[in-house]
Amino acid sequence: MATSRKQMAIDSGASGASPTRKRKAGRGRSRRRRQDLRVVDGLLLLDKPVGITSNEALQRAKRLFEARKAGHTGSLDPLASGMLPLCFGQATKVSAFLLGADKVYRVRARFGTRTDTADADGKVVEESRITEVSQIALETALSKFRGNIQQVPPMYSALRKDGRRLYELAREGREVEREPRPVTIHSLDIEEYDPTHPVLRVRCSKGTYVRTLVEDIAAAAGTLGHVAALRRLTVEPFPDDGLVSLTALEQAAEAGGMEALDRFLLPIDAALDGWPSIYLTKDEAYYVRQGHPVHTRVADESGRVRIYDEARRFLGIGEVLRDGRLAPKRLFVEQPGTGG
């Protein structure tokens, strides 16, 4: 686990990139090999296992799909498991919307000790004589962190200070001042009460550091604490089912090849579920594809919308302007050989 921590130091609840190792295999692909890779467009809800970084999980899935382009959204620590949306091909164009999505976590805390990384991957740096918290005291502590709160990011995070990542400074034994940031805790409840290792369920906004939240809850309860185990249950708008493990992907690839793998992919517009939809006529779709705003039948919609052509094919993201016209903002093109 300690090695994994060096590979990646970004909180499970926060957005942003994590440091990753440069893989010789990936760097060494020839130009011809890249051209031989498949054009794959779609989303995969990967169930990331404990013990590897988000980037390692991504690279394994990417190799299985033989995909030219892929990325992940909302990194998970090596300690954490659960939903890691992977975006293949053109689906990377919607990754920013997933980074800003609310997320749900199940976290097991451990009271009585604090670690340098705020989770079980780190070394214990402080101990408290108070190792047990009553259910009433825990409920009282939780009530202080529901709603809009200010949170100080941990040193082991990918945020920058004076041009350097905080985790780099932390590895050098340095601690610098960090400004508190606003986050929203939509819900925070006890799922399983235990005086030393309670399990909490958290629904939170982007940018929330679950490790910091557990430390702060412990402090409010009069003790120290860190994350013992963490699982991300959902990334909105996706439900908590439909997760696919790396083992399942490997088995599918062996049994049915690319066709079997592609069945796991979700369409790109699944990332925008819940957005208003506008269906265009053939002529309107033509002009939108050329990048021109069009007058269309808009029923009390404003802001960003999903747009579809006359055959109900997803075209991309549009924006309804103040004058009622629909302007294309990010379009997707059909490509031969796409997955999903």
DSSP character string of 77-88: -TTEEEEEEEEE
- Three-state secondary-structure class, residue 125: strand
Spell out the residues 6+ positions from residue 195 whose beta carbon is closer than 8 angstroms to its own.
111, 132, 133, 134, 135
How many whole angstroms separate alpha carbon 249 and alpha carbon 228? 28
The CATH number that applies at residue 201 is 3.30.2350.10
Asked whether residue 337 is domain-assigned, the answer is no
Q: Does 237 reside within a domain?
A: yes
pLDDT of residue 34: 67
Q: Choosing from 41, 47, 77, 262, which is the catalytic residue?
A: 77
As a whole number of angstroms, the distance between CA 316 and CA 41 comes to 13
> What is the rounded CA–CA span in Å between residue 134 and residue 194?
8
Instruction: Name the domain count of the chain.
Output: 2
Report the predicted TM-score, pTM, of the whole model to 2 decimal places.
0.83
Q: Is residue 20 part of a domain?
A: yes
Helix (H) or strand (E) holding 220: helix 210-220
Classify residue 132: in a domain, yes or no. yes
Residue 87 lies in a domain: yes
Q: Whole domain around residue 302: which residue ranges?
A: 275-331
Tokens 């009553």 label which residue? 134
Same domain, 208 and 265: yes
Question: Is 279 contained in some domain?
Answer: yes
Measured CA to CA, the distance from residue 114 to residue 118 in angstroms comes to 6
Q: Is 77 a catalytic residue?
A: yes
Question: What is the distance between the terminal CA atoms of the chain, rounded to a whole angstrom?
Answer: 35
Residue-wise pLDDT tens for the chain (340 aa)? 333 333 333 334 443 333 333 344 444 444 447 678 899 999 999 999 999 999 999 999 999 999 999 999 888 989 999 999 999 999 999 988 888 899 999 999 999 999 998 999 999 999 999 999 999 999 999 999 999 999 988 766 666 666 667 667 667 666 666 788 999 999 999 999 999 999 999 999 998 999 999 999 999 999 999 999 999 999 999 988 889 999 999 999 999 999 999 999 999 999 999 899 999 999 999 999 999 999 877 655 568 899 999 999 999 999 998 888 899 999 987 654 444 3
pLDDT reported for residue 6: 36
The answer to whether residue 339 is domain-embedded is no
**Domain co-membership, 213 together with 293:** no
